[in-house]
Amino acid sequence: MSGNKAVNWRDKLPKGKRRLDFDDEPAPPKKAPPKTPSASQSKQPSGGLNVEVHPLLRDLASVPQAQKGPGKRKARSVFDPAALNPYLNQSDVRAPSHRPRPLQLNPQGKYIAQGEQLREKLKKEKEEEEHRRRLREKNLLPDESIGEHLYQRQFPPLIEWWDRPYLQTRSYDDFKGEFVVDNEEAPVSIYIQHPVPVSNERHEVEPGLFLTKKELKRKRRNERLARHQEKQDRIRLGLDPPPPPKVKLSNLMNVLTNEAIKDPTGVEMKVRQQVEERYKQHMKTNEERRLTPEQRHEKTKQRLERDLDRGIFTTVYRVDSLDNKQHQFKVDINAKQMELHGVMLFNPRFNLVIVEGGEKAIKFYKRLMTARIDWNEKSKAEGSPDSQPISQPSKNSCTIVWEGQIKQLSFKKWSRMYTFTDNEAIDLLARFGVDNYWREAAAM
């Protein structure tokens, strides 16, 4: 059978035989319809307590159980994009392909231009901020806290208020070109009053030169030498007579050599007389320069007023005990002599001393209260023959509660006041507006 095509064996059989033989072939098996498990054929669940299923639950489908073992699972062969979302074309959703980028070089001066633009922008922002700061200092910026930025600006009026009584209409349009008032012959020029120009020349006062103590001493010495040299020059030129020699008993023989040898007793008497005259002249000059008590008091008062004009200062002291009469006298008399304002407040709990005045007076009084007075010193009884010391607290002290500069005086004069409770002290100081001093002292 080589060289011939393979012939099917069915073609060699007769037609009838082939039909019969074909009919005799067994038919393919048919699939049986699915049978519903009956109550008797229902499979009992494995595991658990081996309890029968309730009759009402037998018609329900059994819970599918996952196949045991990894080899029994069917892996998905091909990924179907339409399974995620059938309404979305998944063919377009794919990773972008890599595209080569050509080499691009930045042109020369690119970043320099960007830097210049940035600097110009910062400069404009700085100028705007400075402009806003100047407007804020002049109170020209609207206050957003009260809503001034929401106010509507008013437009300029159509006519000024001073022209309303003289115009029949509410506009200047009817008078354009009819009146010219900008020349010298205009009738309105006689009603214009120009203020007298005032010169604004200000003479700047140069501040004085502040020198140290050594520099002031050197300056005075040089000025004294210059005056003495000028006096000597005038004597040499014959403009002034030479002063008489200043003879004393110590230089008698050196000045009056010949006269002292001839008449020593007469020369001695003459020298003593000159010394006496010079002493009287010196005392007379001192007496003329001496101020009277009224002038001295006025000078002290002016000095304290000048000190007070430079600024008002105050200091508050807390003293535990003022039972010592000497301490009371020192605190009181020094405040009066320095013309200080304030009060010395006595209280059983503690004592409060408030002084107000100039800077120098307050500084002097501060040294008195903190350094000069010995607050633990025991006082002696007045009029006692044995001068026995009076019992006094062993730990007495003076503490500064507050010190500083104030705008105006709270007290009109210096006075002494007495209180017995804290409320009385607070009410008393509240009349002068300084009740907080007592609270601060009580908290120490």
How is the chain split into domains, by residue range? 212-241, 312-376+394-443
Query: Which distant-in-sequence residues (6+ apart) come within 8 Å of 159 by Cβ?
Result: 167, 170, 171, 172
Spatial CB neighbours of 396, under 8 Å, sequence gap ≥ 6: 319, 320, 321, 375, 376
pLDDT given for residue 20 in this prediction: 44
Whether the predicted pLDDT of 42 surpasses 50: no
pLDDT for residue 40 = 45
Measured between alpha carbons, how far is 354 from 369 in angstroms, rounded to an integer?
A: 12
pLDDT of 154: 80
SS3 352: strand
**Is pLDDT at 174 greater than 90 in this prediction?**
no
The amino acid occupying position 251 is N
Phi, psi of 32 (to 5 degrees): -75, 145
Q: Does 22 have pLDDT greater than 50?
A: no
Q: What is the pLDDT of residues 296-332, one digit of tens each?
A: 989 988 988 888 888 999 999 999 999 999 999 999 9
Query: Is residue 23 predicted with pLDDT exceeding 50?
Result: no
Per-residue confidence (pLDDT) for residue 60, from 0 to 100: 64
Tokens 């010219």 found at = 180
* Highest mean predicted confidence (pLDDT) among 63-67, 114-118, 143-147: 114-118
**pLDDT given for residue 1 in this prediction:** 46
Q: Which of the residue ranges 2-6, 215-219, 363-367, 410-414 would you say has the lowest mean pLDDT?
A: 2-6
The answer, yes or no, to whether residue 146 has pLDDT greater than 70, is yes
Q: Pick 312-376+394-443's CATH classification: 3.20.20.70, 3.30.70.100, 1.10.443.10, 3.30.300.30.
A: 3.30.70.100
More confident residue, 163 or 205: 163
Burial of 327 (0-12, 13-18, 19+ CB in 10 A): buried
Contact residues for 308 (Cβ-Cβ < 8 A; gap 6+): 357, 358, 361
Residue-level pLDDT at 24: 46
Q: Is the pLDDT higher at 400 or at 53?
A: 400
Q: What is the DSSP string of 145-158?
A: GGTGGGPPPPPPPS
For residue 275, give every residue at least 6 positions away whose Cβ sits within 8 Å of its Cβ, in sequence order, or none. Answer: 248, 249
pLDDT at 415 over 90: yes
Q: What is the pLDDT of residues 72-102, one digit of tens each?
A: 555 556 666 666 677 777 666 666 677 888 8
Q: What's the pLDDT at 262?
A: 76
Please tell me the predicted confidence (pLDDT) of residue 259: 72
Q: Is residue 354 classed as helix, strand or coil in its secondary structure?
A: strand
Report the DSSP pairing between strands 312-319 and 398-406: antiparallel
Name the residue with higher pLDDT: 411 or 61: 411
